[in-house]
Amino acid sequence: MTAMLPYGRQSVTDDDVAAVVATLRSDWLTTGPQVDAFEADLAGWTGGAGCAAVANGTAALHVAYAAAGVGPGDEVVVPPMTFVATASSAVALGARIVFADVEEGTFTLDPAAAAAATTARTRVVAAVDYAGHPADYDALRTALAGSDALLLADAAHSIGATYRGRPVGSLADLTTFSFFPTKNLTTAEGGAVATADPELLTRARRFRNIGLVRERAELREPDEGGWHQEVHSFGLNYRLPDVLCALGRSQLRRLGDFLAARARLVARYDEALTDLPGVLTPTRRSWAAPAWHLYPVRILDGRRREVYDRMRAAGIGVQVNYLPVHWHPAFADLGYRRGSCPVAEAFYAQQLSLPLYPGLTDTDQDRVIDALGAALRGVTAPTAA
């Protein structure tokens, strides 16, 4: 019997291993030359926006919110169709979360809902590029006209995607990435914050480095000596070490190949599933070139749980992405209630992520397609021998 097909999987080559080994044999394991080089390489995918590499995607969000000045009394607008960290990392800074619903089709933040949720207390509006499809950033900018709120792109799913020909990373005031193993490239654990604003970038880099200030012109005690460093505002140790940045640099060289492989697999799924009764395939807007981190189908007629269980029994590692954030008990305990974001909640009731990663073979993908068809017919497909 073959092992269960996961819904996502990293792609690691001998070149990746060699890059890590070379760094292990160097003078630097933690913050060193590979960090600067990785950040420069990332900027090649963000339209030149400066980058701060951090320990993981949640850290990236926390760093970005801190750089934006989020604190007690502030509000942060978040769509519920995302991983909980998009909201919880702002709560950790004392913010109040205001949930705004998503658009039908892409299930990214609805600009009209974002505008309705924005008040004088809104510090940040966080859009999420769900499944790798960019949110409608021009419409979001228009919706926020007249507000002092910063626009944040949670691009954990979408590095390498483009919106109206412009790269993700250049579309918002702040952008966050995740390099978890199932994402479009990996540093094992890791993330990054991107911004074209030099002041925001400085704040991000300081916060991820415990708040340390070393620039002589900014020191309050500049004559202490060459060793001197100060903390002017508190930060955390969210640094990404040289070893993992070396892996990230090697992975970035293949990001274009990863994106092409995912696009080819998405096209095969689309062709095979478009006419399958009981399933809706993902939507793509004409102005987007998604990165396709996920392949999220919708299972109709209230059968998502049944289909999930049958496919799992057949060895297909389908997943559900995500429980609406305001449904988590931590938010329910704060008074958030179901029914407030009907589009996201209806989507959650149907959503199922099929396996998608660059190393997925056509044979394995055909197995997924066959298992889905069998599950919809009410039978469990046999696991592969």
The residues annotated as belonging to the active site are 183
* CA 82 to chain centroid: 9
Reference 369, options 295, 301, 300; nearest CA is 295
- Identify the helix (H) or strand (E) that includes residue 206: helix 198-207
**Strand 279-280's sheet: what is its strand order?**
279-280, 295-299, 351-354
Reference 101, options 117, 123, 90; nearest CA is 117
- Identify the helix (H) or strand (E) that includes residue 77: strand 75-78
Decide: helix, strand or coil at residue 157.
coil
Distance CA 168, CA 267 (A): 22
Distance CA 139, CA 145 (A): 10
Number of residues in the chain: 385
Phi, psi values for residue 361, rounded to 5°: -80, 160
Angle among Cα 46, 48, 54 to the nearest 5 degrees reads 60
Beta strands in 256-363 (DSSP E): 279-280, 288-289, 295-299, 351-354
Distance CA 263, CA 277 (A): 23
Torsion angle in degrees (nearest 10) through CA of 284, 82, 89, 69: 40
Angle among Cα 263, 310, 358 to the nearest 5 degrees reads 20
304: number of Cβ within 10 Å = 19
| Radius of gyration of the chain, Cα coordinates, nearest whole angstrom | 22
